[in-house]
Structure 1
Amino acid sequence: MLQTAVHRPVALGKTEMKPSYRMDLRQYTQKEYDKFVKVNTVNDWSQVTWKDIGKPYEVTSFSKEKTEWEEKHGEILPVHTSWTMFNQSFHQWFSKDVPADISEKKDAFFHSLKSFNPSEVKTALGDYLRIHLWNYVHRIQDGIWDPRGKRALFEGLDVKKPRILFLGAAEGYEAMQLSAMYPGGEVVMVDYDPFCRDARFAEFPAAYPFLGKNPRTGGDKVYYKDAFTISYVVDDIRNLPYGAEFDIVLSVGLLEHFPDSMKAEVVEWHRKFLKPSGYIVMTTPRAQLRSKLYYEIMADVMNHTYRELMTLEQMGLYLHENGLDILKHGYIKVHNGIVAKAK
């Protein structure tokens, strides 16, 4: 018998750190809006040039899992395999009881000091630093899911009960946030790694609250994963059978995984599924010192495939040059965010 999840009431305006994530049901004031999203820093994208802004920063520190595979097989790690490795590695971190893991890694580090083995000490220290960094980025700062920042980016779309297509969906967080803000529609999530559907999405915490709108009253309402109409397609984006039928086409951290020779194709993946009046919403990791340090320290967790860090201007110019009209652009903590339409 199918059981429906039972959700305890949560207080609007509340934020609380859970063992593996932060819940955040706070609204933002105008001052906080400026903090989370600074929109429209470029007035005329036709005046932005690559000569002025330079090319993205390419991350060149890779996971040990990737380098060991390539040494063993004598070839470059296949793209599909690299994504499987990344998704499995990343999901382990989302699933952690972080306070318990911090305590465990701390004990392991102090135990390693007794061994007088530099290699063992280095490994234990690295594990301890990584869990602290994850705790800060994901639980304290909520910089990965970032509900307030992404709500600020997503607000103001002229849609009702939208059909949303999420390309490279992973656990699907952002599409669920959009569905809470614009309720009553449906979501199609797409990823070509079945692990994303069967583990990352399937195990997304049922108790995670999304702040959205009540269509009957216009007031705030809290939604949970089981309230959304979602189908999950495991396939290559290039094989999708859909036409121009979606109100919103979304990707989060997709564009930066492709070199310049493929950027136009990646943008086209978004445009081809979009209704004439629809919106393209995209984010990429920001090119800033703390992001560079993050991907260096977390290389074993994050860096299984090609990755760039972009400035907002670099991301926007890729979209502008490939036929998108940028409506809104801004910074969201560690991410760039852009809302666009097809020209």
Structure 2
Amino acid sequence: MLQEKSRAQNHTKPYSEQHIGTTHLHRQYRTDLRQLSEKDYNKFVTLNTVRDWSQLSWSNVGKPYEVEASAKERLEWEATNSRDMDPHTSWTLFNKSFHEWFIKDVPKEIGNSKHHFLKSLRTFKPAEVKQALGEVIQLQLWNYIHRVQDGIWDPRGKRALFEGLHLTRPRILFLGAAEGYEAMQLGAMYPGAEIVMVDYDEYCKTTRFKDFPDSYPFLGENPRTGHPAVYYKDDLNIEYVVEDIRNLDFNKEFDIVLSVGLLEHFPDEYKHEVADWHRRFLKPGGYAIMTTPRNQVRSRLYYRIMADVMNHTYRELMTVEQMGLYMYENGFDILRHGYIKVHNGLVCQPR
């Protein structure tokens, strides 16, 4: 019986401290327990390029790039309903679309898409060929960005942004949590954390978070020894709340208020509200941590090619200077800022 329990545990928790320093490519994603070498750090992480935020202005940094390509599903919905898609519907459609891609067996799907493309060539129907070629391109791009490069989760880059906070057993509030990846990474880095995830799309709790692989390892710290340690989802203390952020009744009780890909979904007239959401729930001395997608050529290309997967909502791409200036002008001091593979990141505190 004990042997059977051990085998089951090894199946759901296949990595331990002996695997630190390794990376493994799975059929849906990459696991990465490597720490950044100095060479990799300088290649993938750039921190603290702005010396004085008070000297920046919008005439210096320009405004974010608005992604205008929309998902076909959104366009069809708006044509049918003769109105703009409401935010709740757009987020519901995005979450389902993104999760369907996340769970794909990518090598198998690439093989199928190539077969479909070759078959379409024999039809001599341009529309069918174009659609089949588009599927091949999308899968190859998803494979490279998410699975090979690990640009969406980017654990090494995220750890570089999140490290060095003076916290013991922190309370973490994740706004717009989706599957909750970054809060779990923080929970591994700051052991004993109490994590509250919030999203107003129930699908995020019942599917995206629920189906997040139990076997995915997070590199963190052993609080007893200070040495690196490996954590899994079920090692962490997590509560998931389905609610609109505006209706939350928490007080200033969190050491970290976290958002990932939230600020860029609001036009300028609403960005002060997003900033206030981070301020509202922070303890004195607490940290607001935020990331947004970077404004770079490959990100623009990604959101154009992957429009049917990603673009159900209003979306901007920013530089880290633009992101930081929004928060600085809304009453936050920027303690750390930088950019990693495909994201900008801030660690800041209310003034």
Structure 1 and Structure 2 fold alike (TM over 0.5): yes
Q: Which of 236, 244, 258 is the aligned partner of 2:266?
A: 258
Match of 2:13 in 1: 7
Of 190, 197, 204, the residue aligned with 1:189 is 197
Query: Which residue does 1:86 correspond to in 2?
Result: 94
User: Which deviations, in whole Å up to 9, do the C-alpha atoms of 1:146-189 show, x marking residues without a partner?
Assistant: 00000000000000111000000000000000000001121000
- Residue 35 of structure 1 deviates from its aligned partner by 2.2
- Could you say what the CA RMSD is over the residues aligned between the two structures, in angstroms? 1.0
Amino acid of the residue matched to residue 85 of structure 2?
Answer: L
Counterpart position of 1:141: 149
Q: Does 1:111 align with 2:119?
A: yes
For residues 236-284 of structure 1, what are the alpha-carbon distances to aligned partners after superposition, in whole Å with 9 as ceiling and x for unaligned?
0010010100000000000000000000010000010001111110000
State how far apart, in whole Å, the 2-side matches of 1:267 and 1:7 are.
Answer: 37
Of the three residues 248, 265, 290, the one matched with 2:298 is 290
AA paired with 1:7? Answer: K
Taking the aligned partners of 1:35 and 1:188, their CA distance within structure 2 comes to 33
**Would you say the 8 A contact 1:36–1:152 is kept in 2?**
no
Question: What amino acid is the match of 2:205?
Answer: R
Matching residue of 2:227:
219
- Does residue 60 (structure 1) correspond to residue 71 (structure 2)? The answer is no
Counterpart position of 1:248: 256
- Unmatched segments (≥5 aa) in structure 2: 1-7
CA deviation after TM superposition for structure 1 residue 36, in Å: 2.4
Asked if 1 retains the 8 angstrom alpha-carbon contact of 2:12 and 2:214, the reply is no
Aligned pairs for 1:11-160 (under 5 A) are 11-160=19-168
The aligned runs of 1:291-330 (5 Å cut-off) are: 291-330=299-338
Q: Which structure 1 residue ranges, 4+ long, deviate > 6 Å from structure 2? A: none
Write out per-residue CA displacement over residues 193-232 of structure 1, whole angstroms, 9 at most, x where no aligned residue.
0000000000001110000001111111111111000000
Could you tell me how far apart the structure 2 residues matched to 1:79 and 1:121 are? 34
How much has 1:127 moved relative to structure 2?
0.5
Aligned partners of 2:15 and 2:217 also within 8 Å: no
- Sequence identity (%): 64
Q: Distance in 2 between matches of 1:326 and 1:280?
A: 9
Please give the secondary structure, in 1, of the residue aligned with 2:272: helix
Deviation at 1:30, TM superposition (A): 2.3
CA distance in 2: counterparts of 1:53 and 1:179, whole angstroms:
34
- Aligned residue among 170, 176, 188 for 1:162: 170
Note the C-alpha offset of 1:125.
0.4
Superposed displacement of residue 6, structure 1: 3.7
Aligned partner letter, 2:295: A
Structure 1 counterpart of 2:82, one-letter code: G
Per-residue deviation, 1:28: 0.8
Secondary structure in structure 2 of the residue aligned to 1:184:
coil
Aligned to 2:339: 331
Question: Deviation string for 1:3-58 (max 9, x for gaps)?
Answer: 97742244110011000000000011223222222111000001101011111000
C-alpha distance in 2 between matches for 1:151 and 1:170: 19
State the 1:291 CA deviation. 0.4
Q: Structure 1 length as normaliser, TM-score? A: 0.98
Question: Is contact 1:249-1:270 (8 Å) kept?
Answer: yes
Q: TM-score, normalised by structure 2?
A: 0.96
Q: Does the 8 Å contact 1:283/1:338 carry over to 2?
A: yes
Q: Distance in 2 between matches of 1:27 and 1:176?
A: 17
Q: What's the CA shift string for 1:40-94, capped at 9, x where partnerless? A: 1000001101011111000000000000000011011111000000000000111
Secondary structure, aligned partner of 1:122? helix
Q: How many residues align?
A: 341
Structure 1 unaligned spans of 5+: none
Hey, what's the Cα distance between the residues in 1 that align with 2:253 and 2:157? Answer: 27
Paired residue secondary structure (1:169)? coil
Matched position secondary structure for 1:233: strand
The residue that corresponds to 1:342 in the other structure is 350
